Amino acid sequence: MKTKILFIAILGVFTNVFSQEEITSPNNHIKIEIEHDNELYLKVYLNNEELIEKVNPKMEFTGGISFGAGDKIKNPSTKTVDEEIEAVVPVKSKLIRDHYNLLKMSFKNYDFEVRVYNNGWAYRFVSKLKGEIEVLDEQMNLQLGKDYTCYLPEEESLISHFENYYEKLPTSVIENGTIAALPTLFTNEKGISFSVTESNLYDYPNLFLEKTENGFKSKFPKYVLKTQELKAGQDRLEAIEEAAPFIAKTKGKREFPWRVFMIAENDKEIIENNLVYQLASPLKLKDPSWIKPGKVAWDWWNANNVYNVDFESGINTETYKYYIDFASEFGLEYIILDEGWSKSTLNVMEPNEDINMEELTAYAEAKNVGIILWSLWRPLDENMEGLLSKYEAWGIKGVKVDFIQRADQYVTNFYERLAKSAADHHLLVDYHGGMKPSGMRRAYPNIINYEAVKGLENDKWEDFITPEHDLTIPFTRMTAGILDYTPGGMDNAHKENFAVRFDRPMTLGTRAHQIALYTIFEAPLQMLADTPSSYYENRESAEFISKIPVVWEETKVLDAKIGDYLIIARKNGDSWYVGAITDDSARTFEIDLSFLDGNRSYQLEWIEDGINSDKVAKDYAKKSAKLTSEDKIEIKMNKGGGWIGIFTR
């Protein structure tokens, strides 16, 4: 990381409690006014118009100590930083410009920091207290001032799988007390939006929002003292039996998480935002060179329903050798053994009687394919070193940890403890049934994915994973970071022909839409959800998917409208990949290719909706052409459709 610009200015020494400060973004579009009159109040302006009426941050501790109220300011100061961050596992950009203005307000027991970027702002408290402290509560009162449209990821409680649909509602009609997960997106009639989330979450509970009369306020899980014992026959119930009156017990001298507000003046800018990663702690691993992103053949979605084989399919050695053969043939880096591979869901130290793990891992190694194992989080929490040592000895390459559900301080610490221990054993980690990413993967890039999304698995029991849902996720959940949506279904249908089938699931939208998702969704571990047998029958589609990378050096959003359509161009090496999807409306776009490297010719290979894909969603066409950066192309999508092109230099 190289600092290009660094400027510090002392604003003055204040002895009174009241003060008023102002800080703007480097381009002066965003302005934050900070008032301190017994309490901190922040007002947010975009292009000189009020965006957020008031943000009131405060922290309270046992012993009567509080931050953000009744303190005298010592030395307010500002500085401008312009740095370049190089991502170890890049999913949006390899080189990220980190350009912001910082205001630091010093008080007796803490500092209050505000960073303002050209595409958002964030604040945090930095504690100077000594010893161990108990945080009674952290308050972030958000008064909107206007009636925004909210894309609401509602939660019934703070025990959750964090898989949300986003209901589009005026904030005025959301009932007081409604709980929202993060990120939560707010838009206005001018197409301006801001998204609320957090970054650099360590040793602290996950943040939720709760609806109030004038906006939203922060809400946190309490510090857990005791959980309920699992009853006979249960393996994954998460229930709190006793909680403390505080939310965290932690070190007195520390930085608390960033409260992040991503701002976009149009829908394209929402997806290009990278603030959660920029605000996170830098790399903590000494040598991340072993970390290998990639695509993975997945067994659970398709229920191991392989066919045209001479063995009985199931959770057994022969079936997984078949997956390994498929992965090897199509250049996939991994296969996953999901729930069922182990002796029981609570005994993940031994495989079931139908799996010979030593034979399987040796077979995979000979084929240059890695194996990832599924586990509930509780066994890993209770015997982390023993299990990870065993997996490493077997030659396993990663773990998919599932049904975490809680978001209190203990579980946040589990996320880091597992990431660190897994890195020591050269294992990747894929978090499932748990909270959204909050920047931890920057420090631990072996965190290869997070779920926290309503993905393709839901097609097994409902019909809500629609093209419109696919067009909401990039503007909402994906702004927090990587997501394990698990695309790749080959049995495609429109709603009138869709059937809910648990063991042989279908997908909504066209085949081209499904393939385009590999470029739309950011995931350094990208699954192929369907059965290898189905991919063999649809070889052309599978071969095209196998050519799409999972990491990107550069991302450009070419056109976008939340819930309606999205066109993204991403670069890997000398090639560009363009993915486009639409909702249930057919659309045509003309795209100029000026994003391509100039004075070069490219071979374009693309998949588009077939002429009859509005009737038979599996219908598609594969075409090719030679083009340059001076050309334009027409992207035509039928209802629920998509388009995916590879530009090879």
The residues annotated with a catalytic role in the active site are: 402, 457
Which residue type occupies 477?
A: R
What are the CA-CA distances from residue 615 to residues 467, 509, 604, 619 (Å)? 15, 11, 27, 8
CA angle, corner 224, sides to 218 and 229, nearest 5? 135
Sorted by sequence, the CB contacts under 8 Å of residue 380 that are 6+ apart come out as 348, 387, 388, 399, 401, 418
User: What is the spatial distance between Cα 571 and Cα 552, in angstroms, rounded to a whole number?
Assistant: 6
**Hunting for tokens 């990639």 — which residue is that?**
294
Cα separation of 333 and 264, whole Å?
Answer: 36
For the residues of 98-166, what is the DSSP string, one character each? EEEEEEEEE-SSEEEEEEEETTEEEEEEEEEEEEEEEEEEEEEEEE-SS--EEEE-EESSSS-------
Task: Output the CA torsion sign for 408, 412, 417, 419.
Answer: positive
Q: What is the spatial distance between Cα 438 and Cα 3, in angstroms, rounded to a whole number? A: 24
In the structure, how many helices (H) and strands (E) does the chain have?
12, 39
SS3 content of the chain, % helix, strand, coil (to 5): 20, 40, 45
Q: What DSSP element (H or E) covers 536?
A: helix 532-537
Supply angle C-alpha 185, 186, 189, rounded to 5. 140
Structure tokens at 477: 């959940």
420 three-state secondary structure: helix
**Are the C-beta atoms of 154 and 178 separated by less than 8 Å?**
yes
Helices 511-520, 539-546: inter-axial angle, 10-degree rounding: 10
Residue type, 463: D
Residue 377 has φ and ψ, to the nearest 5°, of -75, -30
Residue with tokens 């659309």: 587
Half-sphere exposure of 442 (CA within 13 A, CB side): 25
DSSP assignment string, 153-207: -EESSSS-------EEEEGGGSPTT-EE-S-EEEE-TTS-EEEEEEE---SSPPP
Any idea which residue has 């609320």 for tokens? Answer: 196
Coil, helix or strand for 263?
Answer: strand
Strand, coil or helix: what is 451? coil
Element (H, E) at 40: strand 40-46
DSSP symbol at 581: E
C-alpha–C-alpha distance, residues 151 and 162, integer Å: 15
Of the chain, the end-to-end C-alpha distance in Å amounts to 30
What's the token pair of residue 428? 């990747």
